[in-house]
Structure 1
Amino acid sequence: MNYYNSGLKLLITSIITLVVTFSVSAQNKVNKNFAPSTDKHWALTIFGGWGNYFGDLTPSRSPFSTQWNMKGGSFGTALEKRLTHRFSVRAEASWTRINGDDAQTAEIGSFEYNRNLHFRNDLFQLSGLVQIDILPHTGHFSQRRLVSPYVVTGATLLFHTPEGMTTMQYGNTWVDLRPLGTEGQGKQNTRPLYGTSALAIPFGIGANFKINERLDLGVEWMARFTSTDYLDDVSRSYVGDVHFGNNQVAAAMADRSRESVAVLTGQPRVVPDQRFSPGDKRGSNNTNDGYSTVSFRLKYILSKNKAPKDLSWLHKSNETYIPMSMSRSKRSKKSSSRNNSEFSKYKDRYSIQNLAINTEGSEKSPNFYYGGIIYATDRNDRKHFNKRSRKSYYNLYYAPLHDLYRNEQTRPVNIDTTFLSKFHHHSAFQINDEQVIATMYSADLPNTEVAQHKLFLMDILGENVWKESKELPFNNEHYSISEPTFSKDGNLMYFVSDMDGGYGGTDIYISYLYKGQWTYPINAGPVVNSEGDEVSPFIHQDGTLYFASDGHDGMGGLDVYECIMKDGQPFDIANLGEPINSEYDDYGLILNTVKRVGYFTSNRLGGKGGNDIYQLNVKEINVSRLLTDDHKNLFVVEEMKLKGKVISKDTKSPLAKIMVSLKNKETKALVTKRTDNNGYFEFNISNESNYEIFPSAFGYKRMKATEISTVGIFGVGEIDQTLVIEPLEKKVKLYGKVTNKETGEVLRNIELVIISPNEEQNLYVKSDNEGNYKLEIDKNKRYFFFVEEDGFEKKNYAIPDLSKFRTVKTMKYNIKLAPKK
């Protein structure tokens, strides 16, 4: 294969490789935002090896044809910058020596042997290269693969001066060949001297082998196709001794066929019978020269970027309970300075229960969502199961509240997020009716400890169907952002991060929404954060912050705390104590509007496996609405009566046998009753609840629900409520066209007689010049019409029963008259 075909094929192969790489990458990704982040680090490389030339003085012009006895040294240095999970760029400065000698590589009697040319050339190279990794690299540089194969290309600027060794007659010394003009260059009326610089296009392959966190040992083969045919000082034809005049050295270096000794080896050679003449072939200028290098490379990563920290329990895919004797190695929990009575003083206020939705896997991170909760679980649903590891990825599921309150075994619904399968879904928080924010993190296998939690804003396409919209601006490739919670007005966000500058492992941070942008995160401060891990913040609608920590005085593992706020800032914290907290990990508490029911995660003994979600029932609460306030002003949930009547808006009179529905906004429980003969109703309710009540009846409008709150009410046994219901409109505007049934022709001035049974008076109407008619009728009556028109059948037509349409105000009814046969 000649140089041109070889280079062209290699170029085409490289282009195809790039296209396939991008296509596969795009095919495997649902959205580029969900690709794991890559640490964009710098690296310094030193390398050494050898170079081989291919051109006029080699049997083959292929870069794959290597003359081992003609190899020269090569060394250099490179500065590399990783840009993406597949692409790196590097700047190189290097030196390579190439050699050629017909006496050592050609067969006796061949044209090349008779020619007897040789050279050496020291190449100084400056290169800009693009490296494309075959296997993607994601995460921190310390998490790179053990073996990383790649292809590389780019551009090279090289500087060169070919040299040849003279015979003993001229001192056995190396001389620059370019100034001699061995093929007539530089002489009057001939070609100019060739340049000492040239461009080259490199193509190569290589692989890096990880030695330790910062060192790689690599090997690389690269071919460079140059823009010059004079790396070897050979390209065209002989010009003859006469051309050189008195310059005997130039003449001797131009034609060496008469030498009886190969000057580089000192070995005798066979001198050909016939000498080359002017115009005879000396080389071939059909293709340019090139060279290849093999280098062994030692790369040191310069980056100061720290590896993502292990966010304590956040990155464990299969949590099991961790007693204090087996606590985490990084646990910074202080030994408690309180006795057991301090943690048990609230236990009579609460009761907890393990929920039926829990499985042998792990369930965690509940949050309220559309009349239920969403939570993360690695339950084996076969849809997100990894057969090799025998583990499942965490995915989000939905369970309705009314099933949770009854603690019935239900089949939770998987949230369809269209994420990549190799992503854990850690948690999600609904910020409005159209959007949620989800926490995700990636893993090669579900049971590996991973990092890089990220937040994504998701659009709610349907009740259980989400679509990614965009990343939050806090996401960073050097630390994790996780578990957001928002204030009631949506302008304040708390979240968890292990970014630098915190008090311990993971801290809670605050950001404010200002002019549509989130402000730079602010650490929540030493009242909340400690030397340990603070996780799972939750802002209640009343502004109180709840979170979990293993760095404050507690019972063991992660404990749940209530943060007392003052002027919108954390003022003091209080441990919620038993039975919410235990000596194991308890975290992720959320509370409903009235703080009577909540949900939290725990890996305590007695669960169904791993982490379980527990329901918290608050039996007593202080008027301050703090769960940890003193024992004064406590009140309990009491039974009450809701009584009232339903009256008609137009007559102001009570309506009997009207359906009345009462919905508990907390439990989503719905109860329906009818009013008695006097229009009265009665429901059993309780304080500390929010309700919606609405009546419904045939012939009346569907009324907007009336909201009733019993929150904070105690010592009251009965509440009265009057409901007003508005009757529907009784009149309907009937309109349409009168046409010939067979021809479709519009019929003008046709008189229609509208009759209603038991009515003494008929209604008359005529079609206009466009065949249209219209009139107003009572929707609660049945009507017929007949037509007495010459040429058409005389028959009665029934108008549809409009009483079936409760809210209709107009009705289109086209009349088609049948001609007489």
Structure 2
Amino acid sequence: MGLAPSTDKHWALSFQTGVSNYFGDLTKRASPTAVDFNLSGAHIGGAFEKRFSHRFIFRGEIAWSRLHGDDAQTAAVGSFEYNRNLHFRNDVFQLSALAQIDIFPHYGHYTQRKRVTPYVLTGLTALLHNPKGKTTNAFGNTWVDLAPLGTEGQGGEFYKPKYNKAVLAIPFGIGVNVKVADRVDVGIEWISKFTFTDYLDDVSLHYVGDTHFGENKLAASMADRSQESIAILTGQPRQVPSEKFSPGQRRGSNNNNDGFSNFIVRVRYILSKNKPPKALSWLHKNNELYKPTLHAKKGKSNSREASKFTKNQDRYTIQNLAINTAGSERSPYFYHDGLIYTTDRNDRKHFNKHYRKSYYNFYFAPLHDLYRNEQTRPIAIDSSAFHHHHHHSAFQIDDHHMIATLYEADVPHLEVAQHKLYSIDILGENIWSNIKELPFNNEHYSISEPSFSKDGNTLYFVSDMEGGYGGTDIYISYKYNGQWTYPINLGDVVNTPGDEVSPFIHPDGTLYFASDGHEGMGGLDLYETYTKKGKIFAVANLGAPINSTYDDYGLILNSVKRTGYFTSNRLGGKGGNDIYQLNVNEINLSRMLTDEHENLFTIEAMKLKGKVVSKDTKVALPRILVSLKNLETNALVTKRTDDNGNYDFDISNESNYEIFPSAFGYKRMKPTKISTVGVIGKETLEKTLVIEPLAQKVKLYGQVTNKTTGELLKNIELVFISPNEDENIYVKSDAEGNYTMEIDKDKKYYFFVEEKGFLEKNYQIPDLSKYRTVTSMKYNIRLEPKE
């Protein structure tokens, strides 16, 4: 599945004012475009809004609009509408549920919204309306409700149902919001509401005549106003038609329902309590458009200070790897028999259109490829599940699960996209799927660069969340009852007002990290922590040549701390960030990289010798294969034993190995682990390897007879037992007293019989293991009868 960009889902309150324009039977056309500004009415309203996605906003709105219509002001002299001389005024109260769709999507925090945001909207509106008309002087020159008068015979002979003053409408509109402050927008909006009534104006059908109203002179007066010589709303004289309208003549047109439009100005205030993002942290600055910059050295600069960082330089060597390119390579981590890392190398498959460069993607390189002089071809991880996301760093938990840091790409807010941690299933060596967010993720700060303790119950990571000591800090969380605890800041021994990044917790419990806040050579330097009773009490700079005056970070070390890999943008690389190999030539017995020059020892050549013997005969086996695997480099060497069953290999101290023999006819044994870590002053190690032969089957057959009489015994059931294996074999003699069965040559069996008339005792079968070449043997069974 894909990963959706993040959006701040905030609430807002809006206020609006403007004008209303009616369209219906008393306008030239029953269309929103038939606007007469002489008859515009007022409009006011307010709304609560909720943003649900980068484009969708829901608005709950309440409003009031005054609508006007007047034939005397809009119709041409002599026209039907002019002669009709109808008018109305209607106060319409509205309750709307509106869906606003932004044309340009909004991502990130509300303060990061675009300066101008056009939109369209629609929804559903409930109306409560009450059309009124103004009477002549004879009736008091006042406004009266028209619906109760039944001006078109509503409720009478011609049109019995009275129209409903509570109706629905469908709104359609367009608008634009302009950001004037972090929380304030000013906008304009035009929206038309198409109602399900033709009586906003009290006009729809035909005249019913004065006689219909009987003694109700007011109703008759309001139904037909054609004979009035003065326009009631303007006070202007008008031409009176020669005749009144007759019953049944058209008064309105019921072909279209009435509606109205609002042109309004809106002020929108955002109510969100979500804090805006902080200034860009190292996590964001280090991801795009990278330009190596020489950082100023912190603290005083003199020869004595400089010597602090060079005193251990003879203990290490570093080398630029063949996997590096003109792009950036970073964040190495051990994965299967190689390294996984991220790179924005131009592979023409993962291209960021916004920045015109490639995405960072995960690649895998076997360890033997890292040392080649020629350009290698690392393998891109199949990561279609999170395509169009940058891949920042990864940590393999086990053979089937990975934790990765990803962040969004190809979106307008790319430079502040938050880093998030995801768990991923490993389907194959380079095939990942089933991506799930971890509970630490947050829309308002980054969670990045995970590292787990050896038991998997402690997680270290980097974040720029509020409450830290500086730009980015290192945090820790513990797994308790299957749940991760709330992140805890690692404290001021490690964290500083600067940036602390790329934690790596070694299996021995030592934490390595990078920082630009501790005393260093410049930029980000790599540090080692000292712990006492599980608590960090000091940090030490790893010094040159591991550190430089540029950024050095992301160190990982193998189990014996003899080989490591880290990222640097120092001069002399192939471009941007490169991955370097660290070779530890000398190490202290404490296994710390920054100990003083005491008890140091180097890598020394050694020999591993021994014999391979058969488990059953204890005899050495000549000319069989023996394989030795270096667990630090994954190098595999295979030899044959000599004529006396001896083997020997060249090894070195400070390494872990696995050795295993293999031969036809023998079981494949589990590898024997051999460690030379911490071994000093020994030239040779000896190890005898034991190999177990495969079980060989022997066909056993013969006759079952009476020991006393020699009589053949038919249909006698025998039970063969191997006491060492708890294996029972049931055999029955046939109609001629013969039996046949198959047993393991290397097992000792006995049998017994529960046949009436014979002694109940155990019978021993001869030991067949000494007959190595025998594949079948005749063995007659003679049962002793009871006396």
Deviations 1:536-586 (A, max 9, x none): 111111111111111222221111111222333322211112111122111
Q: What's the CA shift for 1:463? A: 0.6
Change (3 A) 1:63 1:189: closer
Kindly report the root-mean-square deviation, in angstroms, between the aligned alpha carbons of the 2 structures. 3.1
Q: Name 2:549's counterpart in structure 1.
A: 583
Q: Is the 8 A contact 1:320 1:611 kept in 2?
A: no
Q: Is the 8 A contact 2:322 2:371 kept in 1?
A: no
Match for residue 311 of structure 1 among 281, 285, 308? 281
Q: Does 1:682 align with 2:627?
A: no
Q: Name 1:745's counterpart in structure 2.
A: none
Q: What's the CA shift for 1:66? A: 3.6
Q: Distance in 2 between matches of 1:549 and 1:724?
A: 51
Q: Is the 8 A contact 1:386 1:446 kept in 2?
A: no
Q: Distance in 2 between matches of 1:473 and 1:386?
A: 28
Change (3 A) 1:568 1:191: farther
Match for residue 504 of structure 1 among 464, 470, 473? 470
Letter of the 1:580 partner, please give it: I
Q: Is the 8 A contact 2:152 2:159 kept in 1?
A: no
What is the 5 A alignment of 1:169-208?
169-170=138-139, 172-184=141-153, 196-208=165-177
Q: Is the 8 A contact 2:322 2:369 kept in 1?
A: no
Q: Distance in 1 between matches of 2:616 and 2:353?
A: 68
Q: Is the 8 A contact 1:317 1:394 kept in 2?
A: no
What is the 5 A alignment of 1:544-583?
544-583=510-549
Q: Distance in 1 between matches of 2:226 and 2:533?
A: 99
Aligned to 2:369, the other structure's residue is in SS state helix
Q: Distance in 1 between matches of 2:386 and 2:36?
A: 50
Q: Distance in 2 between matches of 1:69 and 1:108?
A: 17
Q: Distance in 2 between matches of 1:580 and 1:571?
A: 23
Q: What's the CA shift for 1:496? A: 0.9
Q: Distance in 2 between matches of 1:471 and 1:109?
A: 74
Match for residue 323 of structure 2 among 340, 357, 378? 357
Q: Does 1:62 align with 2:23?
A: no
Deviations 1:451-487 (A, max 9, x none): 2111111110111010133110111111111111101
Q: What's the CA shift for 1:711? A: 1.0
Q: What's the CA shift for 1:173? A: 4.4
Q: Distance in 2 between matches of 1:501 and 1:336?
A: 32
Stretch moving more, 224-233 or 525-534: 224-233
Match for residue 322 of structure 1 among 286, 293, 299? 293
What is the 5 A alignment of 1:225-236?
225-236=194-205
Q: Does 1:300 align with 2:269?
A: yes
Match for residue 397 of structure 2 among 419, 426, 431? 431
Q: Is the 8 A contact 2:107 2:413 kept in 1?
A: no
Q: What's the CA shift for 1:101? A: 1.9
Q: Distance in 2 between matches of 1:441 and 1:484?
A: 14
Q: Is the 8 A contact 2:284 2:415 kept in 1?
A: no
Q: Distance in 2 between matches of 1:733 and 1:419?
A: 58
What is the 5 A alignment of 1:257-272?
257-272=226-241
Q: Distance in 2 between matches of 1:244 and 1:196?
A: 22
Aligned to 2:494, the other structure's residue is in SS state coil
Q: Distance in 1 between matches of 2:206 and 2:697?
A: 109
Q: What's the CA shift for 1:383? A: 0.8
Q: What's the CA shift for 1:286? A: 6.0
Q: Name 1:753's counterpart in structure 2.
A: none
Aligned to 2:415, the other structure's residue is in SS state coil
Q: Distance in 2 between matches of 1:653 and 1:356?
A: 48
What is the 5 A alignment of 1:167-566?
167-170=136-139, 172-184=141-153, 196-211=165-180, 213-244=182-213, 247-284=216-253, 288-309=257-278, 310-315=280-285, 316-325=287-296, 339-386=305-352, 389-405=355-371, 409-444=375-410, 449-566=415-532
Q: Does 1:131 align with 2:100?
A: yes
Q: What's the CA shift for 1:164? A: 2.4
Q: Is the 8 A contact 1:308 1:451 kept in 2?
A: no
Match for residue 728 of structure 1 among 694, 697, 716? 694
Q: Is the 8 A contact 1:50 1:295 kept in 2?
A: yes
Q: Does 1:602 align with 2:568?
A: yes
Q: Distance in 2 between matches of 1:732 and 1:368?
A: 49
Q: Is the 8 A contact 2:326 2:576 kept in 1?
A: yes
Letter of the 2:259 partner, please give it: G
Q: Distance in 2 between matches of 1:150 and 1:134?
A: 5
Q: What's the CA shift for 1:311? A: 2.5
Q: What's the CA shift for 1:599? A: 0.7
Q: Name 1:46's counterpart in structure 2.
A: 15
Q: Distance in 2 between matches of 1:336 and 1:249?
A: 101
Stretch moving more, 574-583 or 481-490: 574-583
The TM-score with structure 1 as length reference comes to 0.80
Q: What's the CA shift for 1:213? A: 4.0
Change (3 A) 1:322 1:732: farther
Change (3 A) 1:213 1:481: same
Q: Name 2:5's counterpart in structure 1.
A: 36
Q: Distance in 2 between matches of 1:135 and 1:585?
A: 38
Letter of the 1:117 partner, please give it: L
Aligned to 1:344, the other structure's residue is in SS state coil
Q: Name 2:731's counterpart in structure 1.
A: none
Q: Name 1:647's counterpart in structure 2.
A: 613
Q: Is the 8 A contact 2:188 2:263 kept in 1?
A: yes
Q: Distance in 2 between matches of 1:582 and 1:312?
A: 18
Q: Distance in 1 between matches of 2:411 and 2:251?
A: 63
Structure 1: unaligned runs, 5 residues or longer: 1-29, 328-332, 735-767, 780-808, 810-821
Stretch moving more, 61-70 or 669-678: 61-70
Q: Distance in 1 between matches of 2:101 and 2:190?
A: 14
Q: Name 1:658's counterpart in structure 2.
A: 624
Q: Distance in 2 between matches of 1:544 and 1:303?
A: 43
Aligned to 1:339, the other structure's residue is in SS state helix
Deviations 1:742-765 (A, max 9, x none): xxxxxxxxxxxxxxxxxxxxxxxx
Q: Name 1:708's counterpart in structure 2.
A: 674
Q: Distance in 2 between matches of 1:335 and 1:423?
A: 42
Letter of the 1:709 partner, please give it: S
Deviations 1:149-168 (A, max 9, x none): 43323332333332323345
Letter of the 1:292 partner, please give it: S
What is the 5 A alignment of 1:92-103?
92-103=61-72
Q: What's the CA shift for 1:680? A: 0.8
Q: Is the 8 A contact 2:353 2:410 kept in 1?
A: no
Structure 2: unaligned runs, 5 residues or longer: 701-733, 746-774, 776-787
Q: Is the 8 A contact 1:508 1:534 kept in 2?
A: yes
Q: Distance in 2 between matches of 1:80 and 1:732?
A: 86
Q: Is the 8 A contact 2:189 2:263 kept in 1?
A: yes
Letter of the 2:95 partner, please give it: L
Q: Distance in 2 between matches of 1:518 and 1:412?
A: 35
Stretch moving more, 480-489 or 449-458: 449-458
Q: Distance in 1 between matches of 2:277 and 2:501?
A: 17
Q: What's the CA shift for 1:246? A: 5.4
Q: Is the 8 A contact 1:38 1:138 kept in 2?
A: yes
Q: Percent identity?
A: 68
Q: Is the 8 A contact 2:40 2:67 kept in 1?
A: yes
Match for residue 89 of structure 1 among 53, 58, 71? 58
Q: Distance in 2 between matches of 1:266 and 1:774?
A: 128
Q: Name 1:743's counterpart in structure 2.
A: none
Letter of the 1:616 partner, please give it: L
Stretch moving more, 584-593 or 403-412: 403-412
